[in-house]
Amino acid sequence: MAASHASTAAAFLAAYDSQLRTDAEVAGALSVTPLGPLCLATFDGGRGFVTYADLGGAGAARIADWVDLALAHFRADPRVDAVEWKTRAHDAAPGLHSALLEQGFVPDDPESIMIGAATDLVADVTLPPGVQLRRITAPADVRAVSAMQDIAFGGEVSAVRAEDLLRRLECRDGTELWAAEHQGSFVSAGRLEPVAGTDFAGIWGGATLAAWRGRGIYRALTAERARSALRLGKTLIHSDSTGYSRPILERYGLLKVSTITPYNWTREA
């Protein structure tokens, strides 16, 4: 059983590396500049982003040079206020952590890369009385769902996040927003983001109000998004998960295949 589990995780990781890195990550960028094996992408909203398929066996000195040059590239662009450098635990990247710290990047908490077969996430779940699932498209409903998610995550309701979500849904890249509703109020929600040209769809933004947790609602939403992914021809589901959500997704059938640590740099005023 353990060997089968390990071989499945290895196959998932190979699919992740071959399908979800570089091109899939920078789709929609305003510009993408190559630097050795790196992709330096600039997105709307002043966000810079660095990713790569692998570092080609480079040593610490070469990697430190790439970090210097990448940051210089973004510093020279007045549109860019912040840069995220995405690292993976399974990459060979000697000296990268130290080089990023040296240039003022700050690491976030690590997140688990979770992958599973979409068919394994499909399940029939009995919802609490009066709770219904539906896909959300109307702007007023999108804003209401965004506000619910802000509250569920313990933050302030943000009109900026709501408008960002609306733009994401309006750009017709296949992103879907699904929610659970009870007596006209939203109590749980999450997105499905199919990745063009791959076998993957991502599940993101899962949030449930505290009073409704532990009642099968998020499990039902995950199953519904998996069904939608299968209808779109996507056979694999992926998500980057915190320590809180990882056990939930593991119970649903996803496997941890590696770890991501984002490093962030912010331009001083």
Please report whether residue 62 resides in a domain: yes
Indicate if 65 and 45 belong to the same structural domain: yes
Backbone phi and psi for residue 16, each to the nearest 5 degrees, phi listed first: -60, -50
Residue 76 and residue 135 in one domain:
no
pLDDT of 44 > 90? The answer is no
Q: What percent of the chain is predicted at pLDDT more than 90?
A: 82
Residues 197 and 175 in one domain: yes
Q: Is 151 exposed, middle or buried (0-12, 13-18, 19+ CB in 10 A)?
A: middle
Q: Is residue 225 part of a domain?
A: yes
User: Domain check: are 197 and 136 in the same one?
Assistant: yes
What's 143's domain CATH number? 3.40.630.30
Domain of residue 160, residue span:
116-258
Q: Is residue 5 part of a domain?
A: no
pTM listed for this prediction = 0.89
- 134 and 249 fall within a common domain: yes
pLDDT digits (tens, 9 = 90+) for 66-95: 999 999 999 999 999 999 999 999 999 999
Based on the fold, state whether residues 175 and 249 are members of the same structural domain: yes
Q: How far is CA 134 from the centre of its chain?
A: 22
Per DSSP, 198 falls in state S
Q: What is the distance of C-alpha 238 from the center of its chain?
A: 8
Percent of the chain beyond pLDDT 70? Answer: 99
Rounded Cα–Cα distance for residues 190 and 136 (Å): 10
Structure confidence at residue 172 as a pLDDT band (50, 70, 90): confident
User: Which pLDDT belongs to residue 130?
Assistant: 97
Q: Using CA atoms, how far apart are residues 40 and 74, in angstroms rounded to an integer? A: 8
Mean pLDDT computed over every residue of the chain:
93
List, for residues 193-224, the tens digit of each pLDDT value: 999 999 999 999 889 999 999 999 999 999 99
Which helix (H) or strand (E) element contains residue 70? helix 60-75
Pair (50, 139) in one structural domain? no
Specify the number of domains making up the chain.
2
Residues 148 and 242 in one domain: yes
Query: Does pLDDT of 2 surpass 80?
Result: no
The DSSP call for residue 171 is T
Q: Are residues 25 and 140 in the same domain?
A: no
pLDDT computed for residue 168 by the predictor = 85
pLDDT at 1 over 50: no
More confident residue, 100 or 155: 100
